[in-house]
Structure 1
Amino acid sequence: MASTHTKNHDYHIIDPSPWPALGGLGAFLMALGGVAWMRALNSDSFEVLGLDLANAKYWIFAIGTVLTLYVMYAWWSDTIKEGHEGHHTRVVTLHMRYGMMMFIASELMFFVAWFWAFFDASLFPGEAVQVARAEFTGGEWPPAGIEVIDPFHLPLYNTIILLLSGTTLTWGHHALLNGDRRGLIAGLAVTVALGVLFTGVQAYEYIHAPFGFSGSIYGATFFMATGFHGFHVLVGTIFLLVCLLRAIGGDFTPQKHFGLEAAAWYWHFVDVVWLFLFVFIYVWGSWGATYAH
């Protein structure tokens, strides 16, 4: 009987799962609620099938968010369970690596779009057009009259934090490879703490920023690029926190730890993106402007 359950191939056919359909539904509700929310901000209605969804924008967005988060938890829990059951064979693990590489590549192109918007406005300020409530740049960059954030104050502090976090994460990873679980847990704990610190510093910076999102093209490109990076830091911190909890629970071995590797790849990607943001948006993009203190 035991031989009938023995794997004689490297592939794993998963059981029928509701998570793809529920995940799509959650994302759709989030998008629908988000559109209704933005229409309501402009005092516009948003009718679908004769119903004005602008009146229920918060509920639609909240239901979609909760459903999406639950699907993420349940789906990844199933993936971890499959790994414990031995379904993550050599070929399956290889394909998971390819999937993570493609995901990071798509994230890279996502940030290319925001850098493109920034360089388009900063390299050709005289050609900037007035859209929505954004101002003309006045033919210079940063736009005339805008005080910018000192890149060698909080941004430099956050740069040091992220570089340190990459170091502590590598420490934890190498500790695992050498069979040192205490070192793994310590490295992950410090990395998560540094991620939380980065987010706190960026939130403080945003609260005290001398310009707003809608006040100028400079503010719009700045907040979109750095804000989405901050969101990725938050996601990466949660990713590493889950890895920390799994490590405390006894998961990961020197031979089987793709979940940790995927989190490390993602975190190092976030580190590299921040270095480009710091150099080009904070330092080069504010060159010659008046710093706000």
Structure 2
Amino acid sequence: MGTQAAQKSERYFVPQPSAWPFVLTASLIALLGGVSAYLEEDHIGPIPIYAGLAVAIYIIFRWFRGVALESEGGMYSAQVGRTYRWGMSWFIFSEVMFFGAFFGALFYARELSLPWLGGEGSKIATNLTLWPGFEAHWPSNGPAQLGGAFKTIPAFSVPAINTAILLTSGVTITMAHHALKASKRGACILWMWATVALGCAFLYLQAHEYIEAYTELNLTLRSGIYGSTFFMLTGFHGMHVTLGTIMLISITLRLMSGHFKPDSHFGFEGVAWYWHFVDVVWLGLFVVVYWL
């Protein structure tokens, strides 16, 4: 029995009970509830948003620290490493489905609903009854002209720059990965800080783009179907870039603390997988939302 228990403990690591998942859930509820209330103009101010965001960031860093200490303490076996890889793979798959739903909504609105409202394929001329004179051109805020006239952001302006930034960041994190596997820790750290800087530059330019959209182009969440799909897709992607940048900072600080080995560094690889996923999603956004 003693030998079996020892073999089981070597194969599976059971962490100590933690309150972090519950606290993080509460902070995310406060954050999302605050944002939702703010968008509906039925709120008590930005306090729930700021409080939820601050607590969430704090918990994430503390949680990362606990996982890092477990890893550096030699508590993880090869089996734990495999489960981490499977877990990260399924997480990224769920993210693919998440963005796939919004891309699907954009496709439905643009390729199916809008032509139908314009009279295409309608045998009873529903468009003439409901929305006479409506022309089905994209981008559109719908036949009701919700939000009034607006302008779109040219693809080959800030979005093209952001595309170049994210593609470059994919190269820099790959260079960091190769440097880590070659035991060149100094070079790895430099490449990682370059990746962090590129992620921050992307977020800065996207914030500038949003300010321009609201103040100069009258492109807002209220701009009908185009405005809602535009901000849902680009906004959620921006949130993922923010989380990814926090993760990049975390593993870079771990590298500077001497963590990760050339043959054992899944914490690094998991973040790299996530960052490459963010890159690929942005390419889809650039082509479908901005360009076409």
For this structure pair, what is the TM-score category when the shorter chain's length is used for normalisation?
0.7 to 0.9
SS at match of 2:139: coil
**1:172 to 2:176 alignment:** yes
Task: Out of 260-269 and 216-225, give the one that drifted further.
Answer: 216-225
- What is the total number of aligned residue pairs between the two structures? 262
Q: Is the 2:222–2:228 contact (alpha carbons within 8 Å) kept by the matching residues of 1?
A: yes
**1:188 to 2:192 alignment:** yes
TM-score (norm 1): 0.81
TM-score (norm 2): 0.81
**1:273 to 2:281 alignment:** yes
- C-alpha distance in 1 between matches for 2:117 and 2:72: 55
Relative to 1, partners in 2 of residues 1:164 and 1:34: Cα closer, same or farther, differing over 3 Å? Answer: closer
* Superposed displacement of residue 92, structure 1: 0.4
- C-alpha distance in 2 between matches for 1:157 and 1:30: 30
- C-alpha distance in 1 between matches for 2:31 and 2:46: 10
Q: Is the 2:28–2:56 contact (alpha carbons within 8 Å) kept by the matching residues of 1?
A: yes
**1:208 to 2:212 alignment:** yes
SS at match of 1:179: coil
* Superposed displacement of residue 161, structure 1: 0.9
Unpaired segments of 5 or more residues in structure 2? Answer: 119-132, 142-148
Q: Is the 1:126–1:137 contact (alpha carbons within 8 Å) kept by the matching residues of 2?
A: no
Cα root mean square deviation, aligned: 2.5
2:233 corresponds to which residue?
225
1:110 corresponds to which residue?
98
Query: 1:226-279: CA deviations, max 9, x gaps?
Result: 111111111111111111111111111112211110110000000000111111
- C-alpha distance in 2 between matches for 1:281 and 1:243: 32
**1:239 to 2:247 alignment:** yes
Identical residues among aligned pairs (%)? 39
Alignment of 1:72-221 (within 5 A): 72-124=60-112, 125-127=114-116, 138-143=135-140, 146-209=150-213, 210=217, 211-221=219-229
Aligned amino acid, residue 195 of structure 1: G
* Superposed displacement of residue 25, structure 1: 2.9
- C-alpha distance in 1 between matches for 2:183 and 2:51: 43
- C-alpha distance in 2 between matches for 1:20 and 1:233: 22
Query: 1:125-166: CA deviations, max 9, x gaps?
Result: 14469xxxxxx9742211285432211122111111111110
Relative to 1, partners in 2 of residues 1:87 and 1:187: Cα closer, same or farther, differing over 3 Å? Answer: same
- C-alpha distance in 1 between matches for 2:163 and 2:134: 28
